[in-house]
Amino acid sequence: MLTITQELHDQIVAHARQDHPDEACGVVAGPAGTGRPERFIPMLNAARSPTFYEFDSADLLRLYRDMDDRDEEPVVIYHSHTATEAYPSRTDIGLASEPGAHYVLVSTAECGNEEGPFTFRSYRIVDGEVTEEEVQIVASY
């Protein structure tokens, strides 16, 4: 189960809406070994695509060095789907390289970049196997 604060949930959704019609992407880092998402890190979709996301390799290197310096790890890796449901694509599954992370998908297919219905779902992706998990939204930890 993914337990996440309302504030982090709202930041992820806001980023997904802001970048629509392109897919948004980012990370929520947390203290190593805790599984607790704490630090919201929106990233630039280097692909600038409505159907694909890609972290810029230099930005990703900086992010991992920064997390290492802070004794953090990626707890949530998120991106949006702008025209399809919030379920990992074959490409998403193939690129999933953090077996300990929660992979969050936000679908903005119904709302675009406006207020309105969206879908927020979380998955574990390990060795190509996708398992949806419950999301618990809390006021604070």
Instruction: Write the DSSP string, 25-92.
Output: EEEEEEETTT----EEEEE-BTT--SS---B-HHHHHHHHHHHHHTTEEEEEEEEEESSS-SS--HHH
pTM of this structure: 0.96
The three-point CA angle 47-50-52 to 5° equals 50
| Strand 129-133 to 135-138 pairing | unpaired
pLDDT tens per residue, range 82-101: 999 999 999 999 999 999 99
Residue 114 has pLDDT above 90, yes or no: no
pLDDT tens per residue, range 21-42: 999 999 999 999 999 999 999 9
What is the average pLDDT value for the chain, to the nearest integer?
Answer: 96
Q: Which class does domain 2-138 fall in?
A: alpha beta
Where do the structural domains in the chain lie, given as residue ranges?
2-138
Tracing tokens 């998908």 back to the chain, one arrives at 105
pLDDT value of residue 133: 98
